[in-house]
Amino acid sequence: MAANRGTWTRPRGEAWGNDAQRAVLHAIAEDAARRSGFKVVAIEALRSDGNLEFVAIAGDADAHDELLGKASPLDLDRILAFSTEMEGWRFIPGEAMDDDTREWLAGYGHIPDLPPSDLPDAWTGEDRLVQLLTNEDGELRGTLYLDEPLSGRRPTQGTMAAVNSEIAVLCEAVVSIVERELYGEQVRMVSQARAARQSVAPGLEIGEFLGELSRAMVSSMQVDTVDVLLSGAPAPALEPYKVFFEEHMRRVWLRRGHLVVEPTETWGVTERSVATPEVLAEAMAHRGVGSWLLVPIGMGEEYLGSMGLGRAPDEPRWIDSEINAAKSVASDVATVVLEARLMQRERELNAEIRDISDYRRDMVLTLAHELRNPVSVLFSHLEMLAMDVPESTDGPIGESMDAMDRASRRIASMIEDLMALATVSDTDRSADIATVDLSALVRDTCEFLAPTATSGGVALRTEVADGLVVVGEPDGLQRMVANLVSNACKYTPDGGEVRVCLKPATRESDGAAGVCLVCADSGIGIAESALEHVFTPFFRAPDPEARKRPGTGLGLAIMERVVKGHGGTIDVASVLGEGTTFTVWLPVGSPADVA
């Protein structure tokens, strides 16, 4: 039968299996002919595109030359409508067919030229005897045709039972080979592509990653070129053709299809082949390929780009299982593209956040520096006024001067806190790292703050283990401990108590050795709704009792940054009206750890 006969158009042929698999099936067909009592045996394999392809024909040279490698649409209704079931086979007498079916079989099959016979049940050239080859799950995998019985007679139930006893095993072997091709080649190609993907170093920009991936796929797979064109991105190798690709491959993605492009014909645009567009033929020549498999890349309804796998003109054509594998590879590439885009966006956002953080830090430092000079001038003038008019310090003037002095000191404290927050928030700064005797630092800080606690009627009690050492920045650790204890004293009313405890402790999450600093007070406490905000710069609890105490809302933010900068953790627990407990954990260190 010739291709394109009458109104019938063949699907793309020679798309199933490799030469070795076809050779095995041809041997099976020859063996089946010897065993079955039929001169001609033809095997069709079902492809994943829904078409059947003749992959082995034994016993008829003309049929072999005419049909081998040719494909036809699967149309079981034509087989079942006019056939009689015989021991698992379907026999279609030539006279039972209508004209349309007869034309269809003539278009896709081969009608042998048989001499007339005087037998009453003689086999005719239009007779068909076929077995639908299915796997254990009843899924169709191919067909096996028997033609030209040596007896010259049409089959009976008895003759077909005898045929089954001879070739049933061969039919099972055909199913096994077709399934192995269906899954084995696909798994092989997908595994090669994924191995290529894993060989590419992570962390590359998306363009670099896809370039490395393309080179790795060429090295590990049976392809000569790999091109990945992302929608809206540059494509140096195919830049003149990018608009055409985007326009057409977007439509291919929406119908979840693919294109197989050869110099004169292209499959996948419609059910039939079409003439290869001039721009595609030019692109193929530009890339030096003779067969091109174009698979769209996307996720959901979003078209992301296209992947083109090319083979040189003398290389094998694209087979069915490879096309399926290429679609799986394209799905993997889509995942990679989306992940790379997310990583790229994450890097951009992180850069923006760093820029904002740097800008805020610089602004705070600039503001603090600009405020320092006026406050210093204010302090100087207040001291000169106190020296010049000492007799007025007990009257209204003295009260005003005291108020100005308190306000100035509060501004000075805020300036110091702003500068401290900016400093501890700067991860790029070079800090002076040393071994710090935390036991001594906590004792000294509590002794320094004891008079302040006593003046407020607060009992400051300590329980500090000896010899606990950490590696860190002495000034930052001293500020953290001072803020922790002074805050507790400030928010504890007269008659209350503050307990400070320092002891060895391991981290629960991984058992790392460290020290635990606990500062618990019986003060005014913090509302549950405010706990998650206490480490936010400038945050102050809305509770009226807390608002009565002066503060900038920076102390706890500074503490948290110091603790995290030393690889530690800080937690807070509080009950409004009963008190607050801060727990700080820091990893221990030794002099050998100091850089």
C-alpha span between 573 and 579 (Å, rounded): 9
Alpha-carbon distances, residue 251 vs 12, 257, 300, 329 (angstroms): 21, 9, 14, 19
Instruction: Indicate if 137 and 215 belong to the same structural domain.
Output: no
End position of a domain, from candidates 186, 219, 254? 186
pLDDT for 411 beyond 80:
no
Lowest mean pLDDT among 422-426, 499-503, 553-557: 422-426
At 76-133, the pLDDT tens digits run: 777 788 889 999 999 999 888 888 877 877 777 888 888 888 888 999 988 999 999 9
Same domain, 460 and 511: yes
Phi and psi of 590, rounded to 5°?
Answer: -140, 165
How crowded is the C-beta side of 217, counted as CA atoms within 13 Å?
A: 27
Q: Which of 167, 186, 205 is the last residue of a domain?
A: 186
Domain coverage including residue 460: 431-587
Q: Is residue 360 part of a domain?
A: no
> Residue 34's pLDDT band (boundaries 50, 70, 90)?
very high
Closest to 531 (Cα-Cα) out of 464, 585, 460, 581: 581
CA distance 556 to 485: 11
Give the chain's end-to-end CA distance (angstroms, integer): 84
Partners of 43 in beta bridges: 56, 144
Q: Does the global pTM surpass 0.85?
A: no
Same domain, 173 and 210: no
For the ranges 177-181, 293-297, 338-342, 511-515, the maximum mean pLDDT occurs at 293-297
d(CA 43, CA 9): 20
Report pLDDT for 591: 37
Whether 134 and 32 share a structural domain: yes
Nearest to 553 by CA among 461, 487, 477, 473: 487
Torsion of Cα atoms, 178 then 180 then 181 then 183, to 10°: 120
Q: Please indicate, yes or no, whether residues 162 and 201 belong to a single structural domain of this protein.
A: no
397 in any annotated domain? no
pLDDT tens-digit series, residues 240-293: 888 888 888 998 898 888 999 998 888 886 667 788 888 889 989 888 899 999
Higher pLDDT: 372 or 143? It is: 143
- Statement to judge: residues 161 and 305 lie in one domain: no
The answer to whether the CB of 491 falls within 8 A of the CB of 517 is no
Of the residues 142, 164, 186, which one is the last residue of a structural domain? 186
Q: How far is CA 467 from CA 403, 439, 478, 502, 566, in A?
A: 44, 6, 16, 11, 19
Q: How are beta strands 71-73 and 302-311 bridged, if at all?
A: unpaired
Question: The domain spanning residue 337 has which CATH number?
Answer: 3.30.450.40
**Which residues pair with residue 461 across a beta bridge?**
499
Residue 334 lies inside a defined structural domain of this protein? yes
Distance CA 335, CA 342 (A): 11
Burial label for 373, CB within 10 Å (0-12, 13-18, 19+), is exposed
Residues 126, 214 share a domain: no
* Rounded Cα gap, residues 304 and 228, in angstroms: 10
pLDDT at 229 (0 to 100): 87
Residue 136 lies in a domain: yes
State yes or no: pLDDT of 7 exceeds 60.
no
What pLDDT score was predicted for residue 4? Answer: 36
Report, as an integer, the average pLDDT of 211-226.
Answer: 86
228 alpha-carbon distance from chain centroid: 17
Q: How many domains does the chain have?
A: 3
- Do 151 and 289 sit in the same domain of this protein? no
CA nearest to 362, candidates 294, 432, 411, 419: 419
How, if at all, do strands 513-521 and 497-506 pair?
antiparallel
Largest Cα–Cα separation, the chain: 149
42: in domain: yes
Whether residue 144 contacts residue 32, with contact meaning beta carbons closer than 8 Å, is answered with yes
The string of pLDDT tens digits covering residues 36-45 is 999 999 999 9
Same domain for 209 and 150: no
pLDDT at residue 440 greater than cutoff 80: yes
Domain-embedded: residue 16: yes
What residue type is 203 in one-letter code? G
Is the same domain home to 125 and 44?
yes
Say yes or no: 220 and 257 in one domain.
yes
Q: To the nearest 10°, report the CA torsion of 368, 370, 371, 374.
A: 160
Residue 31 included in any domain: yes
Are both 208 and 111 inside the same structural domain?
A: no
Burial class (CB in 10 A: 0-12, 13-18, 19+), 275: exposed
pLDDT (0 to 100) of residue 369: 61
Q: Name the average pLDDT for the chain.
A: 83
Tokens representing 258?
């693919």
pLDDT tens-digit map of 22-33: 999 999 999 999
Query: What is the rounded average pLDDT of the residues 548-574?
Result: 83
Domain CATH for 549: 3.30.565.10
| Residue 258 belongs to a domain | yes
